[in-house]
Amino acid sequence: MTLDTPITVLGRNTSSNVQKVMWLLAEINRGCERIDVGGKYGGKKGGATLARTRTASSRRSIHGDIVIWESNTILRYLANVFRLSELYPNGHAERANVERWMDWQLSSFGPANVLLYQSIVRTPIAERNEDVIEQHRARNATHLAILEQTPSNHRFIAGDKFTLGDVSMGALVHRWFKLSVMRPDHPHLRGCYDSMCERRPFVEHVVKIEFS
């Protein structure tokens, strides 16, 4: 496997987990083939895959003989292969600072955000339950208050630099700001989101993709 080995991503471009992988690849000008899998395209629903064969299920990416699933693992894999030390620092403390946001996205904010998204976007209007939506909204706001409390002079999620922390969180933060829900005033988070929106790959692979 070389740095030029073609990359295939299996997954829908409407999945936040696929969007983060596509966003990172675009940030580093690395082309890939993306194959629709999951949701209305069939196969397992859900995340990204860096994948090996066209018959592989979703949630994978393929790079030569390497098959990887779990979107944050794919981000770390790409960062290691392409030596993206700006985005994924080598220093232990700096790396832990980035990784904690990736873990927090996966374990805390992500599940809450997906439930809010599903309760609105993926629920027919006639079946939407305002109480359920409000519970999910409140839970998201509580999670995001944690992020809001990190030093407010930070331009990005994990500090002054753009990192995998932003890539991991970006699609979900976008959903939070674009869903029609009441949001507390979170100026730091809003600043991070504005910084993401200045990046063309984020706009291409997240902002421009219709909610579905």
Ligand X SMILES: N[C@@H](CCC(=O)N[C@@H](CS)C(=O)NCC(=O)O)C(=O)O
By the criterion CB under 6 A, which residues form the site for ligand X? 15-17, 45-48, 59, 70-72, 114
Q: Is the dihedral of CA 146, 150, 154, 158 positive or negative?
A: negative
Cβ distance to ligand X smaller for residue 59 or 188: 59
Nearest approach in angstroms of CB 175 to ligand X is 8
Cβ distance to ligand X smaller for residue 157 or 188: 157
**d(C-alpha 55, C-alpha 43), whole Å:** 10
Cβ distance to ligand X smaller for residue 118 or 149: 118
Cβ distance to ligand X smaller for residue 14 or 163: 14
Which of 211, 179, 208 lies closest to 23 in space, CA to CA? 208
Nearest approach in angstroms of CB 20 to ligand X is 8
> Helix, strand or coil for residue 10?
strand
**d(C-alpha 158, C-alpha 181), whole Å:** 26
Cβ distance to ligand X smaller for residue 116 or 188: 116
Nearest approach in angstroms of CB 147 to ligand X is 19
Angle at 199 between CA 196 and CA 201, to 5 degrees: 110
Q: Are 5 and 64 in contact (CB under 8 A)?
A: yes
**d(C-alpha 117, C-alpha 136), whole Å:** 9
Q: Which DSSP symbol is given to 7?
A: E
Cβ distance to ligand X smaller for residue 57 or 195: 57
Nearest approach in angstroms of CB 43 to ligand X is 12
Nearest approach in angstroms of CB 73 to ligand X is 8
Tell me the chain's radius of gyration from C-alpha atoms.
Answer: 17
Nearest approach in angstroms of CB 94 to ligand X is 23
**d(C-alpha 61, C-alpha 18), whole Å:** 10
**d(C-alpha 194, C-alpha 69), whole Å:** 29
